[in-house]
Amino acid sequence: GMRGMTGLLWETSKLDPDEGIRFRGLSIPECQKLLPAAKPGGEPLPEGLLWLLLTGKVPTKEQVDALSKELSDRATVPDYVYKAIDALPETAHPMTQFANGVMALQVQSEFQKAYEKGIHKSKYWEPTYEDSLNLIARVPAVAAYVYQRVYKDGKVIPKDDFLDYGANFSHMLGFDDPKMHELMRLYVTIHSDHEGGNVSAHTGHLVASALSDPYLSFAAALNGLAGPLHGLANQEVLLWIKSVVEECGENISKEQLNDYVWKTLNSGKVVPGFGHG
């Protein structure tokens, strides 16, 4: 195949097999040091990483606070989105419910409205930008509702206009411990970009190349992310580890682990999280 060949150029991030990921040339420790935090010495705010990705510049705290407010102002999710998710059985996989919610948001697409009115192609970026910010602002509430529906009582936890992006996502999931807020800030920050050649990123760009709006493109990307050789590996690796513990116990030896790994491989499967290549 194309292994080892340059297939695309990607400005916003670079993944090195030894060093790890860099965002606009900055490593994760450098992002933790340079990007504004909610409190001195805390984890970087995801809004700051978004600013860095879009502009290539490290933002000030004031710029991050302004972006945080902008996203909060855009974050209201219409009731029909929740009803669209409710049309699915609660046993539907969370990614299926999430993608369904994003598709329901699509009726608000500014790009689609502008295209239908005959917008000049030199202006395509403007409604695309609006859709993208709206989507970034609203998906935490959609994802949080899916979590509540699958694992909790199915109630919508309203957003808190006084919280930043990561803390608010944690809040809507039902976790208000400040340590969880910090964890979510870091988690969202380091997962914000992962080069452009992975299945979901490539799918999003491929669908967008047909002038499908960001909602349609992101929903398609989510369906790629849901595959076991991509994002679903996060779930599959936990299930695999549980199966190891169930068969071998918690005090497992290297020999036992080696035998179990080969048992997995010889059965025609991959070890989740290590089978992408």
Domain ranges of the chain: 12-69+166-195, 76-158+196-225, 233-266
Count the Cβ atoms, other than its own, within 10 Å of residue 200.
Answer: 20
> What CA–CA distance (Å, rounded) separates 52 from 36?
11
Position 46 scores a pLDDT of: 98
Position 275 scores a pLDDT of: 52
Count the Cβ atoms, other than its own, within 10 Å of residue 213.
Answer: 23
Position 192 scores a pLDDT of: 93
H/E stretch holding 157? none
Nearest one of 116, 148, 114, 147 to 131, comparing CA atoms = 114
Running DSSP on this structure, what letter comes out for residue 22? E
For 6, list phi and psi in degrees, rounded to 5.
-75, 115
**Radius of gyration for the chain, computed over Cα atoms and rounded to the nearest angstrom:** 20
**What sign does the dihedral 129-131-137-143 (CA atoms) show?**
negative
- Amino acid identity, position 101: G
**Which residue numbers in the chain have pLDDT < 70?**
1, 275-277
What superfamily does domain 76-158+196-225 belong to in CATH?
Answer: Citrate Synthase, domain 1 (1.10.580.10)
Note the residue count of the chain: 277
> What CA–CA distance (Å, rounded) separates 54 from 217?
18
pTM for this prediction: 0.90
